[in-house]
Amino acid sequence: MVNRGGTCVRRTQVGIVGAGPAGLFLAHLLHRQGIESVIVENRSRAEIEGTIRAGVLEQWTVDLMNEMGLGARMMREAHFHSGITLRFNGDSHHIDMEGLTGGKRVTVYAQHEVIRDLVAARLEDGGEIVFNVGETSLHDLDTDRPKIRYRCGKDGEVEEIHCDFIAGCDGFHGPSRAAIPAAVRTDYQKVYPFGWLGILTEAPPSHPELIYANHERGFALLSTRSPEIQRLYIQCDPKDDIAHWSDDRIWSELHARLATKGGWSLTEGPIFQKGIIAMRSFVCDPMQRGRLFIAGDAAHIVPPTGAKGLNLAVADVVVLSRGLVDHYRSGRLERLEQYSATALRRIWKAERFSWYMTTMLHRNEAETPFEQRIHLADLDYVVHSHAAATALAENYVGLPID
């Protein structure tokens, strides 16, 4: 590192903004190919590893983690399900995803656990993550020497990373997407009229796989974290105050929405975390400007119903890493120039599937009774048609990367 006019400057091949799944996976993919990178992150290691987020991994994501030597703890601690249960009109229907997709499974492994594994492996490999940076900005993106400028902590010195390329993996509110001028990009967005109230509870599993329920009172989802901790969600008004939801009210709604004609029962336990999240879809096109490439939540958001968020971020950086490797091996830029178009093909398929699952399973007060019956008919078709069930299963366990 050198000091130029009071600014500390370092050099790397790829500068990565953000230590979420996209940024960490990209760093590992590049490291395997001998390409240097530095990650800058505005939060602390404890914050990124301690932000609890659910996660369902597509089969190819699981395979990739194992191939990269990152999956040992996942294979010990994750939950591997043969499928999911769709519940509506009081009846349960198992979708045998493993059978419908030639052996691909549903892997439940929380996103923050993935991040813990990736951070530990990155640091063990000697890779650099600069935590707690502030005032991050991007410069000279249309040149062959783009720069990441940041402050070390809130009041520390200004530092710069001079690099060949920048990967903006800094989430929806980071500076990377904003560095693509609004005049040259199109932002596609849909805001849904409902949110999810999620809880974590100390209780044993009530069911061996995820349950997605369409009920006249609203959607519900039963998931899991561990043999002792379960995660559950109910549809609610996204503007509601969590203070209005006592534990008794939450359990009452969960019992009602997950009830079956067969007498299945939900196991309760102490609730130790609860909160409300809004639901939306978002896509930025294009996902690149000059030597800047954005990935993950910086480029797109999907509602969690389709379990696509983390997997889509990883798919982005797999495509990006291939372009970078091609450039460093051959000097060609063609794959990098096609990054956005290639990534967006898969992104829009994931957006479609997430929208489909969300609209089919939720109750929207703005919809007519006719539209609500259409959604129930769609569910009935899925559980009684091999072709429809196969299409759902293929999308859920993960489409191939182009």
Q: Is 188 a catalytic residue?
A: no
Contact 298, 175 (CB under 8 A): no
Measure the CA–CA gap between 110 and 114, rounded to whole angstroms: 7
Type of residue found at 5: G
Q: Is 400 a catalytic residue?
A: no
Active-site annotation holder among 308, 327, 362, 375: 308
Type of residue found at 269: G
Residue burial 346-378, b: 16+ Cβ < 10 Å; e: rest: bbeebbebbbbbbbbbbbbeeeeeeeeeebeee
Active-site annotation holder among 104, 304, 339, 362: 304
Contact 232, 374 (CB under 8 A): no
User: What are the angstrom distances between the C-alpha of 30 and each of 165, 287, 323?
Assistant: 12, 19, 11
Tokens of 23: 């940024």
User: Residue 387 half-sphere exposure, CB side, CA atoms within 13 Å?
Assistant: 0
Q: Is 204 a catalytic residue?
A: no
Continuous segment of H or E residues that includes residue 383: helix 369-384
Continuous segment of H or E residues that includes residue 362: none
Q: Is 286 a catalytic residue?
A: no
Measured in degrees and rounded to the nearest 5, phi and psi for residue 267 equal -90, 125
Active-site annotation holder among 109, 212, 233, 339: 212
Contacts 24+ apart (CB under 8 A), 9-13: 9/159, 9/160, 9/161, 9/162, 10/38, 10/159, 10/160, 10/161, 10/162, 11/161, 11/162, 11/163, 12/36, 12/37, 12/38, 12/161, 12/162, 12/163, 13/37, 13/163, 13/164, 13/165, 13/328
Q: Is 304 a catalytic residue?
A: yes
Active-site annotation holder among 28, 79, 81, 375: 81
Any idea which residues carry the catalytic annotation? Answer: 81, 212, 304, 308, 396
